[in-house]
Every structure is written in structure tokens, then in C-alpha cells.
Structure 1
Amino acid sequence: MLNELVQKAIKGDGDSFYELIQIKKEHIYKIAYSYVHNQEDALDVVHDAVYKAFTAIGSLKNPQYFSTWLTKITINCAIDHLNKTKKVISIEKSELENFPVEENDKEAILDLRQNLEKLDIKYKTVIILRYFEDLTLNEIAATLNLPINTIKAQLYRGLQRLKIQLEEGDAIEK
């Protein structure tokens, strides 16, 4: 069914494209939010991504890669948004309050999020896609159009840098 909708959208059927976006809206919102960490900016990113996808849907060669293609557009829009705004990204307190965890764990989650923001965008992207979006390494490689070994290396380096940042934070607190 999804492939049929994609094929119709590629041929210019706006209603089919709308249905596809309705199916994928939560997914692209989650990706956008994982980059910008607030609702308004995430909605702006989603809006930009949907617009770019709508204007470029005719160039999609293989309908089975629609989800990967849309994810990549969303990531690029989120990165563009961050580069344009160049502001400090804050995590909304409501995001932490919704976690059913102990207070100490909430602090750990906040530390993790803050340190994730300090990472180079290539490491941050791979970590978000792997651990927040639960994509496999092969899916990440397809989404980012990079070799699997590059993804593995970026994931390893990103996690190492994140670990160092977290350890440095612990050392400062003691």
C-alpha cells in the first residue's frame, strides 16, 4: 500500500502525498525534535521537510526508499535550522518530567542530552538514528548515503567522545 501511494505521489498525486505524510508525520517530528529540542522549532523543521519533499517527490527514483529519503530530508532540514539559528538549544523541562524515572536518572538523562548536543553533527546524527530512532547500521548507512564502515566508525567515535564528556562532567562535580 505504501509503495502504491509513493508511486502515485511521484506521478503528481497530491492526495497520495498527503496520505504519506499523515502516515510518517510522527516519525519525522521525532527526528526533528531530537535535533532542536523544542516543539516550535521541530514543527518548523517538519514544515520545511514536508515542503522540500513535496517539491522533490518527482525525483525519487525508487519508491521503496521513500522512508529513508524523507528521513534524510528531515535530518538535513534540522541541521539547516540549527545552522541558521545558531542558538543555544535548551531541553524543555516537560520532556524530562514525562520520563517515569527517579530524580537521579532524570539528571543523568539531562546530562546525556546536553553532552550529545556538544558532539559534532555527524556523530550526533548517527547516535540519534541508532539509539533514539532504533535504526540498524545498514538503515543508517542507506539514510545518510554513507558506507557501513563509515557509520560504524562515526558511531564508535561519537560514543567515545560522549563517554569522555560524561566522565569529565562527573569529575568536575566531585
Structure 2
Amino acid sequence: MSRPKRGGATPPAGGPPPPKDGDSAVKPADAAVRRVLVECHRDMLWFLQRRLRNRQDAEDVLQTFVARALDRSDDLREIRSVRGWLSRILASTLADHQRRTARRGGRETAMDPADLEQLLVEPDEELDSQVCACLYRLLPTLKPAYAEVIWRIDLLDEPRDRVAASLGLTLNTINVRLHRGRQALRRRLEEICLTCPVHGFLDCRCEEAERGRELRDRLRSHSSSA
């Protein structure tokens, strides 16, 4: 299976509509953010497709993973590391998919409960590396102050008090900055689902992009009713 090429693709006939008035000149910064979102979507989809050997299953798992992360975003204030948190969510999403697939095929559960528990505690190295690579790509799309604390605390595992001392800030300020940065990351995760991994647009009308919008609408409906 060949890996999808990075970069924007030429829109096919019948592709997305032309930009609305006022949107014709996209700011370079906005274009860069969109490019990163599309690349993250493609890379995550490629990783899952290689794991599951099925494009549709990979897209379903990716959307479920992001939906779970967004649904549990209240955890962001308390978790020790975004990287480990996302890795565990992705691992559990994959395991749940394996169980459903096994049940549909009339087989026993694909994974022993003890093995599943171990997977949730210690996600495999390849999966963790994929999550790390996605976060690394997203950091430059955040405010520099947010990106720095997430990089040092969530990816390099530096103690918060050491980061605070090196930046001349109080520990409380670092905690606030980290929380706001994680919330900004949450918004980027939602935007990943709204990008089209095929055509590279945020306003694409192909089937995969429409499914992303359906996910967004479900999430908003859930948030408003909570």
C-alpha cells in the first residue's frame, strides 16, 4: 500500500465552490495552518490504514478517536501529558474497533482483557510516535507562548516548576498558559476532522469531508445538551 503524497492536490471537476466574498485572499498564516491540518489528517489516516488495512475502517477510527478526545477535553486541566493522554485514547479506540470487528465476524474477542489493559496503560511505540509527530506539526500553528510550554511539558516531559523558573514565571502562570495551550490544541484537533485528506480543503464537498462535518455537528449538539 503506497503512502499518500503530501501537499495540496489539484481540485477535481465539481470540487469545492469558489471562495466567498472576502475570502479570496487567504492570509499566508491561515494557509499554513490549513496545510498542517491536512498533513496531520493524511498522516494519521495513512497510519491507521496501514494498521487496519482498510480505508473506511481507518477513517471511522480516526473520527472516533478525535470525537473521544474532544468529548473528554475537560480532562486537559488535570492530565500529566497530552501526548500520553491522546495515545491512550487512540489505543482504546483501536482496541474497541478490533472487538467490534471480531463480533461482526462471529469470532471471540480479538484481544484478551489483560492485554487490552496493558495496551491502555502503555501504548505501543509506533502509535505513540504517530501522536507525537502530529502534535509536533500542530505546535507552530499555536501562539509561541503556548507552543513552548506544550513542547517542553507535554513532549519533553520537563517538570513544570523547572519550565516556570527558566522563563521567569510563576508556577500558576505556567499552569494557566499550559491549559490555554491545550485548549487551543483541542480546537486544532476538531479542525483536523474538518479538513479533506483527499483534496486538501476545509470547505470540500466530497463524501469524506461531509462525514467530517457530520462529526462536528454531532459534537456541537452533544456539547449544547450537556
Smaller-chain TM-score bracket: 0.3 to 0.5
TM-score (norm 1): 0.38
Instruction: Answer with 1 or 2: which has the greater Rg.
Output: 2
Higher helix share: 1
